[in-house]
Amino acid sequence: MKVNHHALELEQNYLFSEVAKRIRAFQAENTGKELLKLSIGDVTRPLAKIITDEMKAAAEDMSHAETFHGYGAEQGEAFLRDAVAAYYKKHGIEIDAADIFISDGAKCDLGNLCDLFDADNTVLLPNPVYPVYYDTSIMAGRRVVFSAGTKENGFLPMPDDSVSADIIYLCSPNNPTGAVYSREQLAEWVAYAKRQNALILFDAAYESYIRDPKLPHSIYEIPGAETCALEINSLSKMAGFTGVRCGWTVVPRTLQFDGASLHDMWFRRMATKYNGTSYIIQRAAAKVFTDEGQIAVHKDIDYYMENARILKDALNQAGINSVGGENAPYVWMECPDNADSWAYFDRLLHTYGIAGTPGVGFGTAGQGWLRFSSFGTRETVEKAAAFLAKQ
């Protein structure tokens, strides 16, 4: 028996595990000192009552023979796929419900999509980057190249024709930087993918936080993207489903590579390895996309975006440069005095009890930067902001 040696090439300390380890050590050494946790991107607001009421009704259905549901459709229930398609239509995007696949979250889909691609593909990643993109590519044995996000380009790297790629990961709004691509910038990426005969994996998990009406919410707002891009999204941050788990991936039937339909391949993969998202959860998810559901979840989105504004105002007051926060729930701050990311993380933690996430954990281009999540409680954010403003 042989193990997958590519899995051994990963750093053994996953970023967020290392952050959690240091936080535990801090708490053990500083009993009674308050921890102001702005590190992990987990929500703190409870689910909207309109959603939990729907979950209760769906659970009640399961207790009656005439409304009981067993195995569901491999792609997800039609009522939810129709609701997702209607959500896209509100943004002026025509997506056929037949091209939508329901899952238990974006992170799972980002990893599982690797099943569709040969190991002999070059993967292009932005740097800094959400660790899952890199880790799953390395575990699959693929070659990885990077496109650097920098202070100078606003952490929005653009394509370079001198770099060849087969699979391109893009995340907008970006995790960790909070930067958002314009429509013109995404058009350049679509054109590049077509020239390269490459596939874009577009992570739109934070699109519901975009406030600027000129910024695109989906790669499919770009003409021609349906032939070179698939899109992953989730209810984790839109509706607080981090502990409930529901997301979707759009795989247009127009995606044809190497003589094969990616839609048909993904359908076959899902039918083989996934038995579907819970009926109860899908009922709750469908409620999110109703007019009433959208009003309810946007109250929480507004709450988190106000948190982001408070953090950015504090950094501005302290004269500290930052990116993000206006159209995304993450604030990406430049460490003062050219400090190392981990050193500054430890300084904030042990001086003020503030826990962020070291930027270097998202890639070499993140060295000297720190990410704050705005998903904390208002009390936590305001206390942290008071300390940050007077650094």
Q: How confident is the model over 47-104, as pLDDT tens digits?
A: 999 999 999 999 999 999 999 999 999 899 999 999 999 999 999 999 999 999 999 9
Identify the band that residue 14 occupies on the pLDDT scale cut at 50, 70 and 90: confident
Backbone angles phi, psi at 50, to 5 degrees: -60, -30
DSSP state of 52: H
Cβ–Cβ < 8 Å for 325, 319: no
Angstrom CA distances, 197 to 83, 121, 144, 168, 262, stand at 32, 12, 17, 11, 14
| Tens digits of residue pLDDT in 317-339 | 999 999 999 999 999 999 999 99
Domains, the chain, ordered by start: 7-47+293-389 (3.90.1150.10), 69-290 (3.40.640.10)
pLDDT tens digits along 247-292: 999 999 999 999 999 999 999 999 999 999 999 999 999 999 999 9
Residue-level pLDDT at 391: 78
pLDDT of residue 161: 96
Beta strands in the chain (DSSP E): 36-37, 100-103, 122-127, 143-148, 167-171, 199-203, 229-234, 247-250, 256-257, 260-261, 322-324, 330-334, 354-355, 357-358, 369-373
Q: For position 16, what pLDDT does the model report?
A: 87
Q: What pLDDT sits at residue 40?
A: 86
pLDDT of residue 111: 92
